[in-house]
Structure 1
Amino acid sequence: MFRFFRWKHFDCVADARTLVAALTGCAALAVEQRGNSRRWLEKGEEIYRQALEKNCSDNSFVQNALIELYARCGSMVKARSVFERMRRPDAVSWTILLQGYVDNSESALALRLFDGMSSTIPNARTFVAAPTACTSLAASAVGSCNWLRRGKSIHSRAVTSSCCDNIFVQNTLVDMYAKLGEMQQARDVFDKMSSRSVVSWTALMQGYVDNGKSEVALKLFEGMAEEAEAPPAARTFVTAITACTALAAEQKRLNHWLEKGKRIHLQAVRNRCWDVYVETAVVNLLAKCGSMAEAQEVFDKMVKRNVVSWTCLVQGYVDNGKNKRAPEVVCEMDLNGVTMNSATFVAALTACGSLMAAGERKAEQEQWISLQHAP
């Protein structure tokens, strides 16, 4: 990991390469220490002031590093200001700014910037950022643009720019088409790939799950064991277990898909992929299949839990008619310092409502019985 240093403490002179390394280090630490990004932004600006003193401020590598620092710290106005002061921004400059807009939830500005690259040839990293912007805007339903048409246009430009053989671009296109509901297009990109990473397989699997084709996702998972060059990752196991959960709900064959999910979980454990997301997916599967004792057991053994883990357990008790237990879990959640999200509130309120309704029904029954036995 980068360690910040002051070169004035040493008998050496900082040149452009040194400044770039220091700025890049600040950017990396800003991401790593999200809550402390202001500190690294200030450090980076201090470094850039030294670049001004040493007449290195017009160096494109230094300027690109500064744009990236601002983008990583969420200061997109400053990032854009540096970009516009550049004499000849290259593809790297455009792409860093474009990716910054995507990362800071300003995908519409990212695509406008992409459209302005008419005199600059985009690189592979550009064609990772632009489809991601398209996907983000489609998910948030921003504007009335046909994001599928927009995505296809970006894909065509990637082909023209000879960037479609890059595995990162291909993975991004698979993910984009899948999230836009175009599974045939996603499959076409996947099938044409000369080599595939675990990201490629997982993106396609997730697409099938999200588009209601979970059985296809599981067939893909099984085929991955024979064809994939790398073993499944934690996210792959999450996707496969989620597919089992979806099929259990759709087909009502609870035991069949529960056992299938358990086998996948065992495989994840053997592959040392038992992170919080995998375990949470298992808790959800067990709860959806009515195995609350097992769900509680898996939950209790989790080394780390997040709000989703707790909510799956609360919702499980509600779905399985054990409404008294749900508020107890919410109390335990509060004692553990975990803040409820909207889904937790809905589950907890549903449980309380059911308990109140049950209490009212019981009171009515008791009143009716007393009336029947009245003299």
Structure 2
Amino acid sequence: MKRINVTLRLRHFPKSRKIHTQRVAFSSTKPEFKPDGISVDYNFLGQVLDTNPDHKTLRTIHSRIILQNLNRDSSLGVKLMKSYASLKDVPSARKVFDEIPERNVIILNVMIRSYVNNGLHREGIQLFGTMCVFDVRPDHYTLPCVLKACSCSGNVTVGRKIHGSATRVGLASTLFTGNGLVSMYGKCGFLSEARLVLDEMSRRDVVSWNSLVAGYAQNQRFDDALEVCKEMEDVKVSHDAGTMASLLPAVTNTTVDNVTFVETMFSKMGNNKKSLVSWNVMIGVYMKNAMPVEAMELYSRMMEPDAVSITSVLPACGDTSALSLGKKIHGYVERKKLIPNVLVENALIDMYAKCGCLDRARDVFESMKSRDVVSWTAMISAYGVSGKGRDAVALFSKMQDSGLVPDSIAFVTTLAACSHAGLLEEGRSLFKLMTEHYKITPRLEHLACMVDLLGRAGKVKEAYKFIQEMSVEPNERVWGALLGACRMHSDTDIGLVAADKLFQLAPEQSGYYVLLSNIYAKAGRWEEVTKIRDIMKSKGLKKNPGASNVEVNGVIYTFLVGDRSHPESDEIYRELDVLVTKMKELGYVPDSESALHDVEEEDKETHLAVHSEKLAIVFALMNTEEGEEESDAIRITKNLRICGDCHVAAKLISQITSREIIIRDTNRFHVFRFGVCSCGDYW
């Protein structure tokens, strides 16, 4: 990063000269502006500027000021600069600044703030460096603003110079400057310096502590960030919404204890201190730690959610297939007129897509007044995971026709759609388009999609060759895609190679051992199956238990494999036995390849019968009735890939009960209607 050299001689600055400006008392009501008037008085011009006028009005006011030779007046100049800066018209603000002959600390502060607040950090720092030329001494408003520019641009060099000079003239110990230094050092990764500044401050407030929390959190020092929060309690500084917002990066994929600590912080704040920011942060904490049910429960307690609340909780509805809550949120969005809002609309598309409601997702997409690449990508993904690969590819082409340039994520999504639908040639063409036309360097995600595309299509050897010719080192996802293809197409030799790589990259991931075991079992190599099981036992590895979520009457229920914790378990198992009997009458034979390979055949059948998705389906059948609404479909979300036996069972159950069953596993959607699955058994 190019550094800006700023000469700071704060100790040589004279004391700020007293500024004589005319004080004007303005009415609290917004004045009516008449641009065609012959004469506009000084007070009225200032009064209009105080109302934050739009750009057209501001230009007219500026013209009047020039016509009346008031453009050299510092008071009106400051108001003009602030108005232009608020409209992000920084060049016009600078032009006003250049026309004002007087140079005092207020005028310079306003111009520096105009730069910094509009992201022009370099320009703000450069203007600060010229203050000594104007014989103006910075004050405790100047330094925090310039330190913010240093923080945002990572310019710790200038930040250190400011710190040194501010210390010499006694400004470093002031509250605002001290807070700015803590924030600057923290954001730049100099956490020891940030802590030292905080410790040396004669006066500290909650912002001081929050700045240090943010520094630790943003630099992945999770435990330290939490310790500072605990230290705040020791010194009787109350946590606020800013504390929670500062802490948010530190509670991503963290321990249950840490999440509990943040929950306690939130509850202690009391309703009078819980701003929308606090609620939104708490929802964010839940979502970042795979706790969607808790996020939805918290949302249900909010009085007046805003757009941030909505975009935070909608993914939780999608993750758990909580369509009824998602629809209620959509209704709230429309009543409160929170749309058009691209972020909210994108979240709605994603939620409906994850709930298997393609038509509703498409309705939101079509009704958008403006769309970004994320909007198109979300809709492409919706088609892709539903097995509608051709629709996904067609939509990708429409996105290109709209003038938007697809990014790397759009290509990942469309390649994945091709993989799910078996569109081998379309996928190859897309990969070529990405690399040769758009000059996007393939990342591991794109390469994994290509391996998956080739492998699913039966081109296992070609997929292996593709990996060997990759210019980057393949990761776990790439080898995992190849191993999955080997299981699907019974390629033991290449499967062994892929498994060996995976055991090196992810030795504690039980799923890969299970995949290799299944490959051996399919080939009838039972000794190797036993060896794999023994290795897993020696390492203390266990197959991840299947878990399925289902929404019934607005409540999310979770079932584990063999689950008997539900109050209705006895009835669920009785109904399941009845269904299995009817399934067998239609020719159902349990797929023992989907069960453990080290148990007797009779035990395998029993094991298959209690898979979590079967229990969830039966529970939903018992507690819902068939209807014409899409919400009447049974929606299951599973944490693993659906096994072959459950796939067959779901088809038969949909035929027997005439109910639509939608199962979303870790790879895609399966929509079962009248004994047929939307995937066409290509999964």
TM-score under structure 1 normalisation?
0.77
Query: Counterpart in 2 of 1:265?
Result: 431
Q: 1:88 to 1:223 in 2, by over 3 A?
A: same
Structure 2: how far apart are the matches of 1:324 and 1:116? 56
Query: Counterpart in 2 of 1:226?
Result: 401
Q: 1:328 to 1:94 in 2, by over 3 A?
A: closer
Does 2:410 align with 1:244?
A: no
Moved more, 284-293 or 10-19: 10-19
Does 2:415 align with 1:235?
A: no
Q: 1:273 to 1:40 in 2, by over 3 A?
A: farther
Mapping for residues 350-369 of structure 1, pairs under 5 Å: 350-356=518-524
1:184 alignment partner AA: D
Moved more, 160-169 or 4-13: 4-13
Contact 1:70 1:78 in 2 (8 A): no
Q: 1:339 to 1:164 in 2, by over 3 A?
A: farther
- Rg comparison, structure with higher value: 2
CA deviation vs aligned residue, 1:2-38 (integer Å, no higher than 9, x gap): 22212146677544433333222223233xxxxx522
Which of these residues, 168, 171, 177, is aligned with residue 346 of structure 2?
A: 171
Contact 2:415 2:430 in 1 (8 A): yes
Query: Counterpart in 2 of 1:363?
Result: none
Q: 1:269 to 1:151 in 2, by over 3 A?
A: same
Which of these residues, 99, 117, 135, is aligned with residue 318 of structure 2?
A: 135
Query: Counterpart in 2 of 1:276?
Result: 444
Q: 1:93 to 1:321 in 2, by over 3 A?
A: closer
Structure 2: how far apart are the matches of 1:84 and 1:116? 13
Which of these residues, 485, 493, 514, is aligned with residue 316 of structure 1?
A: 485
CA deviation vs aligned residue, 1:152-211 (integer Å, no higher than 9, x gap): 101111223332222211111100000101111111111222222222111111111122
Does 2:357 align with 1:210?
A: no
- 1:272 counterpart SS class: coil
Structure 2: how far apart are the matches of 1:320 and 1:110? 41
Contact 1:311 1:343 in 2 (8 A): no
Structure 1: how far apart are the matches of 2:360 and 2:408? 25
Q: 1:42 to 1:56 in 2, by over 3 A?
A: closer
2:227 alignment partner AA: E
Shift of 1:304: 3.6
Structure 1: how far apart are the matches of 2:329 and 2:344? 11
What is the RMSD of the two structures over their aligned residues, measured on CA atoms? 2.9
Which of these residues, 502, 505, 511, is aligned with residue 333 of structure 1?
A: 502
- 1:206 counterpart SS class: helix
Does 2:456 align with 1:288?
A: yes
Q: 1:352 to 1:258 in 2, by over 3 A?
A: same
Contact 2:434 2:440 in 1 (8 A): yes
Contact 2:209 2:228 in 1 (8 A): no
Gaps of 5+ in 1: 31-35, 139-146, 249-256, 360-375
Structure 1: how far apart are the matches of 2:353 and 2:290? 20
1:325 alignment partner AA: I
Shift of 1:279: 0.2
Q: 1:63 to 1:328 in 2, by over 3 A?
A: closer
Paired positions, count: 329
TM-score under structure 2 normalisation?
0.44
- 1:17 counterpart SS class: helix
Shift of 1:42: 2.2
Q: 1:194 to 1:12 in 2, by over 3 A?
A: farther
Does 2:271 align with 1:81?
A: no
Does 2:235 align with 1:57?
A: no
Shift of 1:81: 2.1
Gaps of 5+ in 2: 1-153, 155-186, 528-683
Q: 1:38 to 1:326 in 2, by over 3 A?
A: same
CA deviation vs aligned residue, 1:287-343 (integer Å, no higher than 9, x gap): 223333431222121524333311222233444453233223322433x43337455
Structure 2: how far apart are the matches of 1:261 and 1:9? 58
Which of these residues, 229, 232, 248, is aligned with residue 68 of structure 1?
A: 248
